[in-house]
Structure 1
Amino acid sequence: MGVNIITKRMLMVILQKILRSIDEGIHVINNEGVTIVYNEAMAELEGMPIEEVLGESLLDVFPSLNQETSTLLKVLKTEKPIINKSQSYLNNQRKQISTISTTIPLYYENEKIGALEIAKNITKFKNLSDEIMRLHQELSRPLLKMNKIKNYTFEDLIGKSPVFIKAVQLARRAANSSSTILIYGETGTGKELFAQSIHYHSQRHNKPFIAQNCAALPESLLEGILFGTTKGSFTGAIDRPGIFEQASGGTILLDEINSMDLQLQAKLLRVLQEGYVRRIGGLKDIPIDVRIIATTNKKLIDMVEKGGFRRDLYYRLRVVSINIPSLWERKEDIEILTDYFIKKYNSQLHKQVWMLSEEVKEDFLCYEWPGNVRELENLIEGAMNFIQDEHILSRDFFPEYIVIHKGKNNQQDTLVSLETNKSLPEVLHSIEEQYIISTMAYYNGNITQAANKLGIKRQTLQHKLKKYGIDANQD
């Protein structure tokens, strides 16, 4: 049996294929600082033709760099790796490039032969980060905040279901303290509305409220946004306060904190425990006075058990814990919310819609609402964009997946074959049992609502549920 032998030439061909196919930029220099490997991804990232970089001295190609600011040259000199470093620099066309890179020294037979850099382009993220910081600074100005930003209060939280009222009452009580709060709720349940309501009902109401989505940016950029940067901490860095400083005396909302990297979680925990921040690259400890409200759409305790979230940070955040129910858990609020959104978009879209049709009301009660209140609002807004002179939102204005087509439980489902061996009482009991099961399912196990639909007393329905062994919510 023959043995496949990979020659040096074959290995070079394979290496070239790899360098051309990967998304990350690869840049290798030798001991003299001359580029010996420069792949297409790096050329596209830096906007440089490969032929202008290969075989050239690094500092000739990138005049804005020097022995200290170039990670490649620094690693070549110190022989110490630099991992996940953020940097911004100019190419020879004076175009600014922002990257996150890892740079390591290269050895052959225990002798240093150069340095390798693997870079990922974050120029767009960097620009986004700068814009976010600019907006955060703008939002901290009281005049702008009062004139342009919608401030939500508890009066904007709409609902009458017991589980929702319980969450609102807990939030109202929490507003009177400065303890950290963890809010759990599915996407679209209104977590930020709760957070703002708590802030504007607290003693901090006249101080800044700044929200930051932890899933929107890479860890390196998010760290700078949270804690600020010091000039010279990395290439292109400037003295800039983070939102912990900007929100002094106020509240910070850390949205989707479940997306935060474990390393950044450790830094956040230190800030919460010690009460001060240190800007990236800085030496000065800056005292802070902010309240933290964190929101999550995943159960953090499950992430803790799986190692995806720090246990100590979890307990530090959930001093007060608030669970916002899904729309499926508060079906009695669907009609109230629907009326509210109809009024809202009547005003905005200059319509004269009165209500939903009875069929759509039934459809809404049967639908599971994975997008919760936000999905309901978007559906109402979308339907009202299509309506013209009509005053009632019928099925024609909603997508098919919302509509529950009649006929699934038609007569054929309940008719009993004459060939059955059951007696009349047995057949009647079977029909009664199935009808009760269907009705209880329709009202999500609510005994009171199901009894009203069936036209019997609540106690009578409870007796029949026990008789047929049907589970129900004890409302």
Structure 2
Amino acid sequence: MLEAILGAIDEGIHVVDARGITVFYNRVAAALDGLDPEEVLGRHVLEVFPSLDPGSSTLLTVIATGRPIVDRRQTYTNVRGQTVHTVNTTLPVFVDGQLVGAVEVAKDITRIKELSEQLVDLQARVARRRMRRQDDSAAAYGARYRFSDLITQDAAMERVKTLAQRAARTDSPIFVYGETGTGKELLVQAIHNASPRAAGPFVAQNCAALPATLLEGLLFGTVRGSFTGAEDRPGLFELADGGTLFLDEVQAMPLELQAKLLRVLQDGVIRRIGSTRARVVDVRVIAATNVEPRQAVEQGLLRADLYYRLNVVALTLPPLRERRGDIPLLVAHFLAKCNARFGTRIKGLREQVWPILMRYAWPGNVRELEHVIEGAVNIVEGEWIGVEHLPPHLVAAAERGEPAPRGIAVAAGGEGAPVTVDVRVPGDGEPKRLPLRETLAAVERRLIAEALAATGGNLQQAAKLLGLPRQTLQYRLAKWEGVNVRQKGETGR
């Protein structure tokens, strides 16, 4: 059973006894080396791999020293002439305190390395092309979004936009926190495009997408000969010179690499791996995380000194469940976008759909909402999206949730057509077709008034009933003098 399990995983495993004789060698390891397991089992390491010696073989080194070798990067050519890139961890095996052998686990990163190098090469070619053409278009660097693309009428979200617009004017680092799908990169691109660096490059990198051994070379660059197979390549810091470097999920970056990032932030100097030459770069760094920053620091995922260095300007994006009033706006936007993209003419959502959307918790936030609307547009046959076009898990989850506002149906026209909203509030008679913002404001006023009436004017309970933060409800009431609040009991506390 153990052999079957070890043979089924996707990492190469090579086990030798204390004499260096192979006792286990799975098929993944054999594929990496271009051998058959039968050619290796029962034979000494140096007999099978004559290019090695006791000093260069990690298995024999661990047997000799009794100390592990962790995450060593290795590039070699196997017997079939294929270049293989791996990250190896070699560990001593002790039984009752006696060294009985060693095990090596090798992860093939050949394809990941190739893709990361292609990414850097592509970004470098784009940079060179832009320099030749003197093209000031930020779109050439992938920064497509602006603050006008941040659709909201939520007070908390509006404040984030205001703070971000102010911060865009400077070069200070920015730290963005938000759950997955809240629009962190959209906000960061908007900051870049509103900054004096808008004509410069915008480079984004997810720190969780690559192994640590590749991420360092990708960020800082490499020089030929710094390790086996290394080439002269600029890193993302060099490619982002004069612009913005966005590091997403920065808490996934290894701590030792975080220390190097801190040094760059402090003095603006980078060194390629294997090089003694210092290169000065002019880069604004914006970092983001989907983990609460202080929690990431407490859990040891994020260095405290790096956090305080990055947290010059702190922006927190609220999750969609805390800005449910934006759902109609976002749905209208996504419907219009899908109509333009797919050539469809979906008019809107049926009335029964709205309680489901407003009740659902949206763990995937705005991104999940967009995918739900896009998925519905793909399968709907008529002009209106119904409950049957929603994902089953969303309907089932919504049925377990709290009651939601009723009577709203959004309609989105075709490309270039104005977006309007049909509002069906019980007791109001025929639907009224009004401009989007005016209609949403009217519905919001009515729902808030009903919530206050139902709770006897208790702000805290009304906010909970509406699914809003208490401060947001107070902000809304301050704008609308026509909504009367009866001060009663715990009101205002």
TM-score, with structure 2 as normaliser: 0.74
- Give the share of equivalent positions with the same residue, in percent: 41
Which among 238, 262, 269 is matched to residue 269 of structure 1? 262
Q: Deviations over 1:261-287 (max 9, x none)?
A: 222212211222232112222222222
Q: In structure 2, what is the equivalent of residue 223 of structure 1?
A: 216
Is residue 161–residue 333 contact of structure 1 (8 Å, CA) maintained in 2? yes
Tell me how far 1:254 sits from its aligned partner: 0.3
Report the secondary structure of 2:115's partner residue. Answer: helix
Q: In structure 2, what is the equivalent of residue 130 of structure 1?
A: 117
Q: Deviations over 1:80-137 (max 9, x none)?
A: 9754211111111012211112457999xxxx99987542322232233223323333
1:380 counterpart = 2:373:
yes
State the alpha-carbon separation in 1 of the partners of residues 366 and 352 from structure 2. Answer: 20
Is residue 250–residue 289 contact of structure 1 (8 Å, CA) maintained in 2? yes
Q: In structure 1, what is the equivalent of residue 332 of structure 2?
A: 339
Which among 73, 82, 89 is matched to residue 86 of structure 1? 73
Q: In structure 1, what is the equivalent of residue 296 of structure 2?
A: 303
Q: In structure 2, what is the equivalent of residue 247 of structure 1?
A: 240
1:397 counterpart = 2:385:
no
Tell me how far 1:179 sits from its aligned partner: 0.8
1:367 counterpart = 2:360:
yes
State the alpha-carbon separation in 1 of the partners of residues 354 and 145 from structure 2. Answer: 28
Query: Using a 3 Å threshold, how does the CA distance of structure 1 residues 73 and 152 change in structure 2: closer, same or farther?
Result: same
TM-score, with structure 1 as normaliser: 0.76
Instruction: Output the aligned Cα RMSD.
Output: 4.1
Query: Using a 3 Å threshold, how does the CA distance of structure 1 residues 288 and 28 change in structure 2: closer, same or farther?
Result: farther
Tell me how far 1:193 sits from its aligned partner: 0.7
Is residue 138–residue 200 contact of structure 2 (8 Å, CA) maintained in 1? no
Which among 207, 214, 236 is matched to residue 214 of structure 1? 207
Point out the more displaced range, 329-338 or 437-446.
437-446
Query: Using a 3 Å threshold, how does the CA distance of structure 1 residues 398 and 102 change in structure 2: closer, same or farther?
Result: closer
Code of the aligned partner of 2:330: L
Tell me how far 1:72 sits from its aligned partner: 3.8
Code of the aligned partner of 1:225: L
Q: In structure 2, what is the equivalent of residue 352 of structure 1?
A: 345
Is residue 75–residue 103 contact of structure 1 (8 Å, CA) maintained in 2? no
Q: Which has the larger radius of gyration?
A: 1
Query: Using a 3 Å threshold, how does the CA distance of structure 1 residues 188 and 93 change in structure 2: closer, same or farther?
Result: same
Query: Using a 3 Å threshold, how does the CA distance of structure 1 residues 195 and 74 change in structure 2: closer, same or farther?
Result: farther
Q: In structure 2, what is the equivalent of residue 444 of structure 1?
A: 467
Report the secondary structure of 1:88's partner residue. Answer: strand
Report the secondary structure of 1:384's partner residue. Answer: helix
Query: Using a 3 Å threshold, how does the CA distance of structure 1 residues 150 and 245 change in structure 2: closer, same or farther?
Result: closer
State the alpha-carbon separation in 2 of the partners of residues 207 and 401 from structure 1. Answer: 43
Provide structure 1 residue ranges, at least 5 long, that are not aligned to the other structure: 1-13, 410-430
Query: Using a 3 Å threshold, how does the CA distance of structure 1 residues 105 and 367 change in structure 2: closer, same or farther?
Result: closer
Report the secondary structure of 1:241's partner residue. Answer: coil
Query: Using a 3 Å threshold, how does the CA distance of structure 1 residues 202 and 78 change in structure 2: closer, same or farther?
Result: farther
Q: Deviations over 1:353-397 (max 9, x none)?
A: 22223332333222222111111111111111122332x323232
Provide structure 2 residue ranges, at least 5 long, that are not aligned to the other structure: 404-452
Tell me how far 1:206 sits from its aligned partner: 1.3
Q: In structure 2, what is the equivalent of residue 232 of structure 1?
A: 225
Q: In structure 2, what is the equivalent of residue 101 of structure 1?
A: 88
The size of the alignment, in residue pairs, is 425
State the alpha-carbon separation in 1 of the partners of residues 106 and 401 from structure 2. Answer: 59
Query: Using a 3 Å threshold, how does the CA distance of structure 1 residues 351 and 73 change in structure 2: closer, same or farther?
Result: closer
Report the secondary structure of 2:224's partner residue. Answer: coil
Is residue 75–residue 229 contact of structure 2 (8 Å, CA) maintained in 1? yes
Is residue 59–residue 104 contact of structure 2 (8 Å, CA) maintained in 1? no
